[in-house]
Amino acid sequence: MGRFGPMEFIIIAAVVLILFGRGKVSSLMGEVGKGITAFKRGVKDEAADVVARDVTPDTTKVPEQDKV
């Protein structure tokens, strides 16, 4: 099986459009877009949280007392 070219993608898109209709495909693409946006926002928030954790000093450690 060879590689997919632009013509194959057009044929696949046409078949999907015929099978599901314009409204269904449009709503599906909208949901995919919302999912991608939510994923990007989650990755961005997680990266900011990691940076904040690295910058913030850890105050939970108890300093060791000198033993006499």
Span 29-48, average pLDDT: 90
Any domain includes 16: no
Q: Report the predicted TM-score, pTM, of the whole model to 2 decimal places.
A: 0.51
- Domain of residue 49 covers 21-54
Count of CB atoms situated within 10 Å of the CB of 34? 10
Residue 17: which residues within 8 A CB-CB, separation 6 or more? 25
The percent of residues in the chain predicted with pLDDT above 70, rounded, is 76
Q: What total number of domains does the chain contain?
A: 1
Any domain includes 31: yes
Any domain includes 59: no
Any domain includes 45: yes
Count of CB atoms situated within 10 Å of the CB of 20? 13
Span 48-57, average pLDDT: 69
Any domain includes 43: yes
Span 30-59, average pLDDT: 81
